[in-house]
Chain A
Amino acid sequence: MSNAICQASELLPLLGGATNATAAATYICDRFTTVAYAVDNTYLLFSAYLVFAMQLGFAMLCAGSVRAKNTMNIMLTNVLDAAAGGLSYYLFGYAFAFGGPSNGFIGRHSFALHNFPSASFDFSFFLYQWAFAIAAAGITSGSIAERTQFVAYLIYSSFLTGFVYPVVSHWFWSADGWASPTRTTGKLLFGSGVIDFAGSGVVHMVGGVAGLWGALIEGPRIGRFDRSGRSVVLRGHSASLVVLGTFLLWFGWYGFNPGSFLTILKAYGSPGGYYGQWSGIGRTAVTTTLAGSTAALTTLFSKRLLVGHWNVTDVCNGLLGGFAAITSGCSVVEPWAAIVCGFVASWVLIGLNKLAEKVHYDDPLEAAQLHAGCGAWGLIFTGLFATKHFVEEVYGSDRPYGLFMGGGGKLLAAQLIQILVVFGWVTFTMGSLFLGLQKIQLLRISSNDEMAGMDLTRHGGFAYLYNDEDDPSQKPGSFMMRRVEPSGGSTPSPTPY
């Protein structure tokens, strides 16, 4: 995993005068190698912690975006995405993804971290990849929120983290993957391989397409479209939690995108110069920031024009749309291009939301539109704007690069292939799974449960209790009672806020 920052054979001639020049060169180089491992692992570990913080962001974003009566439910699924994902990724997910040597389709070594670490992969890499895997599962849980049985969550989440996602990451990120740009065994796809640097396709499209099928198969929440088919907004219960979650995701994205370099100690060009992977990493953080910021501002003004008022939750979604899009090309585009990326991402999201409304598709967190839609745009964007110079630095020389930058259409073709295969694979696996769950009545909750809220019927009670009562057994019928009465939807609601 670490770079060969110091070659004894290079140092050797320079030490000509020493008695034992070979030994001296080796001695010095070994120390540099140790330093490089320590620095790179430090970098990767803290990046992994940041990516983990995104799980907290998802939990808060989801909690704030659903109605109060389903808060306990959605938060539990988020905790379990991380926990169940921890076990399933340890037991087999990692092996499917990176257990080389293997074929181009699926890995097959290192189950339960057998014979680990190796010269290629260390524990920090496992931790980093686990944090990515649970992010994919977190995305999906947003699409099917507020109407899905808890057991269905457990099943799809383990399946997604343990099998569907690892296979996709094997294709595009492992050295054996058939479409990987770092492939060592065989020809690169279109002489290029797919450049999905931090996973617009591998993570965001996988999570989003899985959510799309789940939500389509379940159908919209009760009340989401009224009798005449008009869309009714079912507002989340806390904008504060949405903003908290969004900022935490932003924070974590600095681990997600720049962290995907995996190592930092590597000079580009001549050694000793100021320019190296650290610059590339910094630039990646900058492109990420600019794409998200542009998307947020674009959403702000366009929503103002379209809807007539400012809306912070829309701005948050726009921001995340920009991040999801730049995730693919973050390391290989110029900062100005990131602005283009974010601008378009915001319109992609707005357009898909219109479309979703038209076809009566209900996604409480807009997860399919945001992660699958903007993720797909991000892959195309990379095929258009990837810069020669940066592609060379990150992946090696003599490769196709962005169409608009003069690099021809090969990279774009590879990116389009990725969109198709990711969509196909996730549709095939997760679509079947959700259909099967529905057939055996394990997918959607009963309409009574849905009206009453899952917290009350399945999770032992409401998430909030702002009035302080020590003895809950007395005097039903006051305002709190009415508030969460199982027939809730039809009850007049007396609390004005």
Chain B
Amino acid sequence: MAFNSKIVFSHVSVSYPAASQPALKDFSIRLTNKHIIGIIGNSRAGKTTLCHLLAGTLPKMVDGEVSGHYQINQWSPQQDWGVYNHQTGVVLQDASSQLTSFTETVADELAFNLINRGIQSQQIKKKVRRVAQLFGLTNQLTLSPAALSGGQKQRLAIASVIVTDPAILIMDDPTSQMDPRGRQIFFHWLQQTTALVFITSYEVDALAEVADELWLMDKGQLVDHGTPFAVFNRFTSPRIKHPVCWQLAKKMGWVLPTDGQSYPVNYQQLEEAFHAAQDS
């Protein structure tokens, strides 16, 4: 699939009121045709700030001083917020608080964004059913959202956002409460989307499988970026978790035949390296 996306950040900095350090420092990047961008880094790296910038919620709703210029596809999240917001789906870090809290059933919650857009009720029903199936919530449609577990609430938050088929998805650690099965379902779905995705997560294994671009952040700065393969092989500090594939291959000495020194970061590459090691 070819993705027609354009991402521009030029010298973007963010400072929150009464904070001693800027949350984002001189962030610059220019990319085209990306599909899934994984954002990784330790606590206080600036990941959530970046998500708020991408969603346009900073500085519109969250107080902060923003300098520099940034643009996603043809839009500036800051200047074209209304139009841009119509194209985006955002999952915030605290996903369960993102639910409206006043819908009586999961189905109503899933329909909320569609009702707001004035969509016909027949269509709403269809879309709700489809998205519920996608996220394993079909059996919960008539339950109250309050009755769901943490992981289910997170799935509901995601489902109620993607029900409008947004062109751009911004997700801040969307799987933190999910059990391993839920996570597997989510990342599998993520790979199938046609949206441009920005996702922060501590799940480096999953990101290495699905992302075609990784941004490594530290203390508000972009430390490195590129494919997961490039980033994890360039940046080998123990302060960053590496995918299990990479760790396993490193331990076993399975390098990729293409350059004879890098280790695989996803299963496909692992197989390649494994067979190359077997052959030699």
The reply to whether chain A is a binding partner of chain B is: no
